[in-house]
Amino acid sequence: MIAVLDFGMGNIHSCLKALSLYSKYVVYTKDPKEIRQADKIVLPGDGAFAKAMSNLEESGMVGLIQEHVAAGKPLLGICIGYQILFQDSDELRDKPGQLVKGLGLVTGQIRKFREKKNMKVPHMGWNRLRSIATKRTRILNEVGDGSFMYFIHSYRPIGFDRKEVSAFCNYYGESFPAVVEKDNIFGAQFHPEKSDKLGLKILENFVKM
């Protein structure tokens, strides 16, 4: 069973529909029993880092996610679900300098793009994956270097560990991690469910693990 966690973030329908192409056993849930029984967990959605973490903590899901990962079962984070895999974020704009703690499952901090001349933030639309680690990546199996994916985000990881990155993306001269892969933990900054056949291939790879 694949548990797509219900933690109050938006843009869920297309993710559920896409995963259901490859598995009959997809549930959208916040039920601890179902989460513990799941073979795989997906952290989906759009929204803000602080709200996502607050919702997970208040619902008790942080501990459930940690249990799942410790058991060696696959976890996939998408968009905001990707960002909260990292150590922290400074997305609280009304409190400069304050950091919000993430799940800390991969190395790095989430920070806003440093805007340059003519640069548009959020980074929104189609962009290419680059520097794919084709020899070791499982999540990007049959997804080649230069594949286009659909992005929408204003923040990206810094201070990351290159060994945990399976693909980068370039935006106005900055190369940032677009896909992470660490043991049974996987994450995509873009929306694979909105990224045509190659995006769906990523979800298929995850389902078949």
Render pLDDT for 101-131 as a digit per residue (tens, 0 to 9). 999 999 999 999 998 889 999 999 999 999 8
Class for the domain spanning 2-207: alpha beta
The tokens 């291939």 sit on which residue? 201
pLDDT of residue 136: 79
Cβ atoms of residues 18 and 53 within 8 Å: no
Task: Indicate if the pLDDT at residue 94 is higher than 90.
Answer: no
Within the chain, what is the greatest distance between any pair of CA atoms? 50
Task: Indicate if the pLDDT at residue 20 is higher than 70.
Answer: yes
Residue spans per domain, the chain: 2-207
Q: Could you give the angle at which helices 49-59 and 61-70 cross, rounded to 10 degrees? A: 90
Q: In one letter, which amino acid is 50?
A: A
Question: CA-to-CA distance for 31 and 175, rounded, in angstroms?
Answer: 38
Render pLDDT for 52-88 as a digit per residue (tens, 0 to 9). 999 999 999 999 999 999 999 999 999 999 999 999 9
Q: Which residues are catalytic?
A: 79, 191, 193
Compute φ and ψ for 2, nearest 5 degrees: -105, 120
Question: CA-to-CA distance for 186 and 181, rounded, in angstroms?
Answer: 5
Q: In one letter, which amino acid is 156?
A: R
- Output the pTM of the full model: 0.95
Question: CA-to-CA distance for 171 and 113, rounded, in angstroms?
Answer: 9
Which of these, 188, 169, 192, lies nearest to 179 by C-alpha position?
A: 188
Question: CA-to-CA distance for 141 and 163, rounded, in angstroms?
Answer: 17
Question: CA-to-CA distance for 143 and 51, rounded, in angstroms?
Answer: 32
Q: Provide the pLDDT confidence category of residue 93 given band limits of 50, 70 and 90.
A: low
Cross-strand pairs, 163: none
